Amino acid sequence: MSAPQEPVELQRDTADTDGSDGALPPDRITQLVRLLRVAYPHPTFPDAPYERTAKAVQDADAENLLTAGLADLDEAAGGDFGALSDAEATAALERIQDSAFFKLVHSTTVVALYDDHEVWDLLGYEGASYDKGGYLHRGFDDLDWLPAPRIAEYTAEPRVEIGSAANGKAF
Protein backbone atom coordinates (compact mmCIF):
# COMPACT_ATOMS: atom_id res chain seq x y z
CA MET A 1 0.00 0.00 0.00
CA SER A 2 1.39 3.41 -0.95
CA ALA A 3 1.61 6.35 1.41
CA PRO A 4 -1.40 8.68 1.40
CA GLN A 5 -1.00 11.72 -0.83
CA GLU A 6 -1.36 15.26 0.35
CA PRO A 7 -4.38 17.13 -1.12
CA VAL A 8 -2.10 19.37 -3.21
CA GLU A 9 -0.42 16.31 -4.75
CA LEU A 10 -3.80 14.91 -5.72
CA GLN A 11 -4.59 18.07 -7.69
CA ARG A 12 -1.46 17.94 -9.83
CA ASP A 13 -1.01 15.95 -12.99
CA THR A 14 2.36 14.42 -12.30
CA ALA A 15 2.44 12.29 -15.43
CA ASP A 16 5.69 12.70 -17.35
CA THR A 17 4.37 12.81 -20.89
CA ASP A 18 7.36 14.30 -22.73
CA GLY A 19 10.16 12.34 -21.10
CA SER A 20 11.49 15.38 -19.24
CA ASP A 21 11.21 15.88 -15.54
CA GLY A 22 9.36 19.16 -16.10
CA ALA A 23 12.22 21.30 -14.79
CA LEU A 24 13.14 24.43 -16.65
CA PRO A 25 16.62 24.61 -18.20
CA PRO A 26 19.08 26.90 -16.37
CA ASP A 27 18.70 29.77 -18.87
CA ARG A 28 14.92 29.81 -18.35
CA ILE A 29 15.33 29.72 -14.56
CA THR A 30 17.65 32.74 -14.86
CA GLN A 31 15.00 34.47 -16.99
CA LEU A 32 12.29 33.65 -14.42
CA VAL A 33 14.43 35.07 -11.60
CA ARG A 34 15.02 38.21 -13.68
CA LEU A 35 11.25 38.49 -14.23
CA LEU A 36 10.68 38.22 -10.46
CA ARG A 37 13.33 40.87 -9.73
CA VAL A 38 11.70 43.27 -12.20
CA ALA A 39 8.13 42.62 -11.06
CA TYR A 40 8.98 42.64 -7.32
CA PRO A 41 11.95 45.00 -7.10
CA HIS A 42 13.89 44.94 -3.85
CA PRO A 43 17.40 46.00 -4.84
CA THR A 44 18.93 45.01 -1.49
CA PHE A 45 17.53 41.48 -1.51
CA PRO A 46 20.00 38.69 -2.30
CA ASP A 47 19.21 36.17 -5.03
CA ALA A 48 18.21 33.32 -2.71
CA PRO A 49 14.63 34.45 -1.96
CA TYR A 50 14.01 35.06 -5.67
CA GLU A 51 15.47 31.66 -6.53
CA ARG A 52 13.25 29.94 -3.95
CA THR A 53 10.28 31.84 -5.37
CA ALA A 54 11.18 30.73 -8.89
CA LYS A 55 11.17 27.14 -7.61
CA ALA A 56 7.74 27.71 -6.07
CA VAL A 57 6.46 29.07 -9.39
CA GLN A 58 7.79 25.98 -11.17
CA ASP A 59 6.12 23.74 -8.58
CA ALA A 60 2.82 25.56 -9.08
CA ASP A 61 2.91 25.21 -12.86
CA ALA A 62 0.33 22.42 -13.08
CA GLU A 63 -0.71 23.49 -16.58
CA ASN A 64 2.83 23.69 -18.01
CA LEU A 65 2.60 27.40 -18.75
CA LEU A 66 6.17 28.40 -17.92
CA THR A 67 8.10 27.28 -20.99
CA ALA A 68 5.71 28.89 -23.47
CA GLY A 69 5.18 31.91 -21.23
CA LEU A 70 8.89 32.64 -20.94
CA ALA A 71 9.23 32.28 -24.72
CA ASP A 72 6.32 34.70 -25.16
CA LEU A 73 8.05 37.08 -22.76
CA ASP A 74 11.18 36.99 -24.90
CA GLU A 75 9.01 37.76 -27.93
CA ALA A 76 7.28 40.64 -26.09
CA ALA A 77 10.78 41.93 -25.24
CA GLY A 78 11.86 41.90 -28.84
CA GLY A 79 14.06 38.82 -28.49
CA ASP A 80 15.87 38.70 -25.12
CA PHE A 81 14.06 39.71 -21.94
CA GLY A 82 17.27 39.36 -19.95
CA ALA A 83 19.01 42.04 -22.01
CA LEU A 84 16.43 44.75 -21.26
CA SER A 85 16.79 47.59 -18.78
CA ASP A 86 14.43 47.49 -15.79
CA ALA A 87 12.10 50.04 -17.43
CA GLU A 88 12.05 48.13 -20.72
CA ALA A 89 11.52 44.83 -18.88
CA THR A 90 8.63 46.34 -16.93
CA ALA A 91 7.04 47.48 -20.21
CA ALA A 92 7.43 43.94 -21.62
CA LEU A 93 5.75 42.50 -18.52
CA GLU A 94 2.89 44.97 -18.89
CA ARG A 95 2.33 43.64 -22.41
CA ILE A 96 1.77 40.10 -21.10
CA GLN A 97 0.07 40.95 -17.80
CA ASP A 98 -3.26 39.43 -18.86
CA SER A 99 -1.78 36.06 -19.84
CA ALA A 100 -2.35 32.89 -17.82
CA PHE A 101 1.45 32.64 -17.51
CA PHE A 102 1.74 36.05 -15.86
CA LYS A 103 -1.19 35.32 -13.56
CA LEU A 104 0.51 32.08 -12.45
CA VAL A 105 3.77 33.92 -11.75
CA HIS A 106 2.03 36.80 -9.97
CA SER A 107 -0.31 34.72 -7.80
CA THR A 108 2.46 32.35 -6.74
CA THR A 109 5.08 35.03 -6.15
CA VAL A 110 2.92 37.22 -3.93
CA VAL A 111 2.63 34.31 -1.52
CA ALA A 112 6.00 32.59 -1.94
CA LEU A 113 8.27 35.65 -1.90
CA TYR A 114 6.61 37.39 1.02
CA ASP A 115 6.21 34.17 3.03
CA ASP A 116 9.96 33.59 2.88
CA HIS A 117 11.49 34.04 6.33
CA GLU A 118 14.66 35.55 4.89
CA VAL A 119 12.45 38.23 3.31
CA TRP A 120 10.73 38.73 6.64
CA ASP A 121 14.13 39.41 8.23
CA LEU A 122 15.10 41.77 5.41
CA LEU A 123 11.84 43.71 5.78
CA GLY A 124 11.94 43.75 9.59
CA TYR A 125 8.79 41.67 9.94
CA GLU A 126 8.84 39.62 13.13
CA GLY A 127 6.43 37.01 11.82
CA ALA A 128 3.19 35.73 13.24
CA SER A 129 2.25 37.17 16.59
CA TYR A 130 0.25 34.29 18.01
CA ASP A 131 3.17 32.29 19.34
CA LYS A 132 4.65 35.47 20.82
CA GLY A 133 1.50 36.31 22.80
CA GLY A 134 -0.17 38.51 20.20
CA TYR A 135 0.45 42.13 19.35
CA LEU A 136 -1.56 43.76 22.15
CA HIS A 137 1.07 43.63 24.87
CA ARG A 138 4.13 43.70 22.60
CA GLY A 139 3.66 47.34 21.66
CA PHE A 140 2.58 48.98 18.49
CA ASP A 141 4.94 51.87 19.05
CA ASP A 142 7.98 50.02 17.74
CA LEU A 143 7.23 51.24 14.21
CA ASP A 144 9.63 54.15 14.09
CA TRP A 145 8.56 55.13 10.57
CA LEU A 146 5.07 56.15 11.74
CA PRO A 147 4.35 59.56 13.29
CA ALA A 148 3.67 59.58 17.01
CA PRO A 149 -0.01 58.83 17.64
CA ARG A 150 -2.28 61.55 19.01
CA ILE A 151 -3.82 60.12 22.14
CA ALA A 152 -6.44 62.13 24.01
CA GLU A 153 -9.19 61.05 26.36
CA TYR A 154 -12.72 61.69 25.16
CA THR A 155 -14.22 64.09 27.72
CA ALA A 156 -17.43 65.24 26.04
CA GLU A 157 -20.91 63.99 26.79
CA PRO A 158 -21.54 60.34 25.97
CA ARG A 159 -22.76 59.78 22.45
CA VAL A 160 -26.46 59.41 21.81
CA GLU A 161 -27.53 55.96 20.69
CA ILE A 162 -28.20 56.05 16.99
CA GLY A 163 -30.21 52.90 16.45
CA SER A 164 -31.82 49.90 18.02
CA ALA A 165 -31.34 46.21 17.66
CA ALA A 166 -34.07 43.79 16.63
CA ASN A 167 -34.75 43.16 20.31
CA GLY A 168 -35.50 46.88 20.86
CA LYS A 169 -32.33 47.68 22.82
CA ALA A 170 -30.50 50.83 21.81
CA PHE A 171 -26.96 50.64 20.55
Mean pLDDT value of segment 100-104: 97
Among 43-47, 55-59, 71-75, 154-158, name the one with the lowest average pLDDT. Answer: 154-158
pLDDT at 14 over 50: no
Q: Residue 5: its pLDDT value, please?
A: 52
DSSP 5-73: PPHHHHHS-----SSS-SPPPHHHHHHHHHHHHHHS--TTS-HHHHHHHHHHHHHH-TT--HHHHHHHH
CB 132 within 8 A of CB 125: no
Cα–Cα distance for residue pair 90/76, rounded to 1 Å: 11
Sign of CA dihedral 38, 44, 46, 49: negative
Residue-wise pLDDT for 114-165, tens only, equals 999 999 999 988 888 888 877 777 765 566 777 777 888 888 887 776 666 7
